Structure formats: structure tokens, C-alpha cells
Copies of this chain bind each other. A is one copy, B any other.
Amino acid sequence: MVDSTGKPEVVFLPGGMRSRVQPGISLDQAARDSGADLQCVCGGRGKCGKCRVRAVPAHASKTALSLPTEEELRALSPEAIAAGWRLACQARVQADVTIDIPEESRTGIQVIAKAPGSQRVFPDPAVTRLSLKVPPADLENPVADWERLGVGLGRNEKTIVFDPDLALLRNLPEALRQNGGEVCVILDNSGRCTGIFEDAAMPLTGIALDIGTTSLAAALCNLETGEVMATASAINPQVTCGEDVISRIAYAGQSGEKRAQLQDAVIGGINRLIDQLAEESGISPSAMADMVCVGNTCMHHLLLGIDPTGLGRAPFVPAVSRPLDLCARDLGIAMAPGASVHMLPVVAGFVGADTVGALLATHPEPGNETVLLVDVGTNGEIVLACGDRLVCTSCATGPALEGATLCHGMRAAVGAVERVWIDPDSLEVRYRVIGDSPDRSVPAAGICGSGVIDAAAQMFSAGIINPSGRIDRSLDTPRIIDQGGETAFVLVPDKESATGRNIVINQEDIRAIQMAKGAIQAAVTLLMAETGVHAVDRVLLAGAFGSVIDPVSAVIIGLFPDLGGANISAVGNAAGDGARLALLNRGKRRDASRLARKMAFLELTTHPRFQRTFAMSMHFPRMAKRIGRSS
């Protein structure tokens, strides 16, 4: 929206950086000003064509950008221009616009902290292969191909379903002809033949897929050895239809077409990941025969084309919670033609298969320990495991902890401040920038989630903010400034930053952080109270964001209530790990189903004590004030 100053706003995807600019400024300048990652090889002369970007149609009027220049007409096809493609150095901003920077137009690689974990699992995959020799048909005994194959299958000890998938039948005659009757068939979890495995030398593989609201992460695994052969990640293409779950639900609820658009977007993204996995590993997609998916309940529903409207209003129930066995072809996922897709179960509207996967990977068995699993993102999901009991809840934290809505917030991409240290005496600031190294200096462009929590913790420890969250204007430091009527603390001075402007945390940012951390603290407080738990042995911080939070900073700002001396550790992308375990071992699927059924859900939105507990939880904890920390 054009604000009172008359300046249009430009939003850059996938990082989500936004800035208000002078009308007439070029897109590449706007990108630099906002800290978005965009390459500019020819110095803005429109010669190299490397700065191709796309105006997101739904987010831009036809006059949001200047008319294409001669350079653009040379570099881009008429079809591309019609689809919104522009050269960033040529197109000039005239009104509000959202610009998608494709990967090839960026300089750096997105930092998505979703690496597969290392938990070992004995391979007992749902999808297997079986080689056998099928006798030829002859004129005396003209038995059909599948029926001759069935004789061989029947001799095996496996339980075979004699109703084959079309993917097998389509290739069976040719396979039998080519190899003198030697074929290798793929069997799914029910013993149904779902295809011909064409190249016996190739490993049989599957994909563990984590569908996040913001990003997709996939690991290609050898189903027979468990080895991770390749990984790939990308922005969830649905972000152009809404940054968070609530806006996706609203978008999908508009019409069946919008729902289909969201489904097509994520499936397109998955298919591009599969291509990346194939390229990196040298494994053909036709040898990728199984997939296990995790994701929050909204992502789960949108992938399957299920109406998610019910997730967004009380009583917040999913359309289905049980695990589902589907056919990849039916979803349009381009793996082996008969490949299976297993969806881990979901628990509630806001406790999804990602939480089930994370629990499966980190705490699948009841024990004596009391364990708190916390996945912090735009939404927080929390599971409390106490002996044989599992209780879970979720809370809306807003996008502050991921940096999205803060004054200078950005995603965890190159140029983001990810760590902050403040000297409590001099109030001098040290910080670390993603992508910065001795070889390559990267100036700070904004601040990401882990940097936000660090900054808040350090500002509180240094006395820059008081327990109620107010910035102390009386302190004698040039870093406390007035910016547009808001008190702000300068983390990165203008002369050090990529944008040429101060990078600050202002009073409003602190309030947003307090709201977010307050929601989590309140959720944990009530979960413990309802369960009668007074002390927690271990806290597991999960998720792409949870795993980069500094545990000490989390304690300083009071992300949790007093847990009685719990050991806090980051467990990485536990949801993705859970998907990998369930991909490699059928027993893990049963475990996941058992865990999901066992999980009791505590609804907080209607809990009588939630509002009061939340209000109390927004304060910073006094006891933690001025806790020092070594770098």
C-alpha cells in the first residue's frame, strides 16, 4: 500500500525483504536497498540478462512497473514479458509490487537449515523389489504376461496381491521381451506389483519430504542400505499466496480453483526438488519408488487438495488424521509411475505430521524422563512426554521470531545477522552475518530469527531493555536513537550495512518478540499445569528455526517458564528425520501411528487461564537479567 509519504512498497521473494522506495527507482537498486539477494553482472546496463525477476501477477497492477525497455525486449521473449518477467536493472517501480527473484538470479544459496539427521535405522522398507524369471509364452500355452509372472510371484514366500498396478502392466510386455523374461518387479507395502525396476544396477530409492510453510526439504535415500544419497531444498512456491498458515487457509477457502492453485504450486515445487535429487545423485526418478511426507496439517491438506477451511476455525479439526497410503501418480508427483506416498498421521488442526515426525525421531518410546519437544516457527507446536503420557498443544507466535515482520527482519539468508553479542558496559555490539567469511565479506542486510532472539537476550542482559520490555532511553549511547517516532537500538550502523541505513531493533520489534515468546511460555506453562508436571528433564528444540536458536538466549528472554533445570538442546530438522525413519522402516510407520493416536491435544484458544498466563508470560524474567555469555 502506498503510505502517507507516497512511497510505493516493494517486497522481494523468497527472502521477504520489503522496503518503501522513491517512485522511479530501478528494481535492482530497490533490491540492494532492502538487502535482497540479486545478482547484477553487467552493472545495470541491461546487457547480461542475469537479473531476470518476475513481478508476481496477483500482487502487482499492470502499471506497477515502467514499460519494458529496448534492452528488455531484446533479452526476454514476448511470452516471458507477458508472464511478468523483467530485467531488474531496467524496470522501474511506479507502485506497490511483489518481485520474485528466481534462484538463478541470486548470488548466494538460500540458507535452509534442513539437513538430514544421523539417527540410524535398520532398513525394512515398505517398497521392495523382487527379481524373477518369467517363462516365455508359447502357442501351446498362450498365457498372458501378468498371469505368467503371477506364477513366479506365487512361488515366493511374500504375500502377493494379484491385482497389479497399471504402471506395471504398461511396461511388462516390453520388459519381458527385452530381457528374455528376467524382470525385477517393485512391490508396495501391501504386496502389490507397482512397476518394473528397469536398471538392476541402480539402487531402489525413496524420498523423505518435509513440506514446511516456508520451505521444502527432501532427502533421497537408498531404501536397501538407508544411505542418504542426495538432499535438496527450496522455497515452498505457495509463499506467493500467503506467508503463513492462516493466510494460506484463507486463500484456499476462496474457491476450489485457489485450492487447486496451491496444490499445483507445492507439487510443482516437489517435482523440481525431485529433478534436483536426480541430478545430484544420478538416480533416475523412475528408481524413486516410495515417499514419506511430513508437514503441518495445513500443508498436509493442501498437498492432497483437501479443503483446509475447517483448520482455521473452532473446533479446528482436520479432514482426516489417520496415516494415508496414496499413489504418487494420483497426486501428480513425478517419481516411478507406480510409486507410493505415505503421509504420516496428523493430530490436530495445528499439530501436524511434522510434530509426529519430530517426536518419532527424538522420543519415540516412553521412558522415565520428562521431555518437552518444541518446534518454534510462525506457529509453535509443543509436545510434553511424561512417562507413558503424551500431551501436545500449539500456539500462534506470529512471524516475529522468524524475522519477517520486524523493522529490519529478513529470512535466514545470506546477509542476515544471525548472532549478536552486546558488551554490558560499553554497549558495543558484535554480530555475525550469514555468508560472511574471511574470504568473502558480506555486509549485514537485515536480521533473521536467531539474531532477533540473540539481540533481545543481549539487550535485556545489558540493561538496554527492562523486564517489561521498554528500551531505556536514559542510557548514554549513540546506539539508542529515535527513528520515525519509535525508540530504536542500532545493531549495525549505516556505514557498515549493505543498505546504507542503520539496522535497528525498535520498541515495536521488542513488543512483537514479547508476544511471540509469551505465547510459547504460556503454552508450556499450561501444558505442564494440566499434566501435573513441575520439572522437565530435557527440552528438544526442533525445526529449521528451533535448531538455530541459541539455548542460552532462549532462557534469557524466557522462551520457557522455569523448567527446573532442564537440559536444552537443538535437534535440527527432527520432522524430516522422522520422515526418513518412516521411509526406511515400516515399523516406524506403525510407531508414528501409535504416537499420533496416543497424543492428547490441549486447546489453548479457549483455555480459561490462557489470556492471563499469556499476559504474565510476556515479561522478561528478572532472574536472568545481566547473565553474561561468552562468544
Residues of A within 8 A of B (CB): 137-139, 142-147, 162-164, 166, 169-174, 177, 304-307, 309-310, 314-322, 324-327, 329-330, 346, 348-349, 601, 603, 606
Contacts and interface: CB of A to CB of B under 8 A. Distances in A.
Given A147-B320, A164-B320, A171 B314 contact: no
A324 B161 CA distance: 12
B330 A144 contact: no
A307 B142 contact: no
18 contacts: A137-B317, A139-B315, A139-B606, A142-B348, A143-B317, A144-B322, A145-B310, A145-B318, A147-B322, A166-B304, A166-B326, A169-B306, A170-B306, A171-B307, A173-B309, A173-B310, A177-B310, A327-B330
A307 B319 CA distance: 39
Contacts of A174: 307, 309
A322 B139 contact: no
A196 to B, nearest CB: 12
Given A138-B315, A349-B142, A307 B166 contact: no
Contacts of A321: 143-144, 146-147
A296 to B, nearest CB: 14
Contacts of A142: 315-317, 348-349, 601, 603
A515 to B, nearest CB: 23
Contacts of A146: 319-322
Given A144-B317, A174-B307, 18 more contacts: A138-B315, A142-B349, A142-B603, A143-B321, A144-B322, A144-B346, A145-B319, A145-B320, A147-B320, A147-B321, A163-B325, A166-B305, A169-B319, A172-B320, A173-B306, A173-B309, A177-B310, A330-B330
B304 A603 contact: no
Report the copy number of this chain in the oligomer. Answer: 2
A324 B163 contact: yes
A315 B143 CA distance: 9
A440 to B, nearest CB: 48
A169 B310 CA distance: 12
A169 B304 contact: yes
A144 B307 contact: no
Nearest to A605: B139
A319 B168 CA distance: 10
A329 to B, nearest CB: 7
Nearest to A314: B139
B318 A144 contact: yes
A473 to B, nearest CB: 44
A176 B314 CA distance: 14
A173 B330 contact: no
Residue from A138, A170, A327 having most chain B Cβ neighbours under 10 A: A170
A358 to B, nearest CB: 20
Nearest to A305: B170
Contacts of A173: 306-307, 309-310, 319
A306 to B, nearest CB: 5
A293 to B, nearest CB: 14
The residue among A162, A169, A346, A606 with the most chain B CB atoms within 10 A of its own CB is A169
Contacts of A325: 163
B139 A330 contact: no
Nearest to A164: B320
A322 B162 contact: yes
A329 B138 CA distance: 36
A166 to B, nearest CB: 6
A590 to B, nearest CB: 15
A350 to B, nearest CB: 10
Nearest to A317: B137
Contacts of A171: 307
Contacts of A139: 314-315, 603, 606
Contacts of A166: 304-306, 326, 330
B319 A172 contact: yes
Contacts of A314: 139
Contacts of A304: 166, 169-170
A162 B172 CA distance: 31
A142 B392 CA distance: 13
Contact of A170 (B307, B309, B316): B307
A114 to B, nearest CB: 27
A20 B173 CA distance: 41
A502 B144 CA distance: 49
B305 A145 contact: no
Contacts of A606: 139
A169 B329 contact: no
Contacts of A315: 137-139, 142
A353 B349 CA distance: 48
A309 B170 CA distance: 11
Nearest to A327: B330
A139 B317 CA distance: 9
Which among A309, A320, A325 has the highest number of chain B CB atoms within 10 Å? A320
A179 to B, nearest CB: 14
A317 B329 CA distance: 28
A316 B164 CA distance: 21
A49 to B, nearest CB: 34
Contacts of A603: 139, 142
Nearest to A143: B317
A204 B254 CA distance: 30
Contacts of A326: 166
A148 B346 CA distance: 15
A401 to B, nearest CB: 26
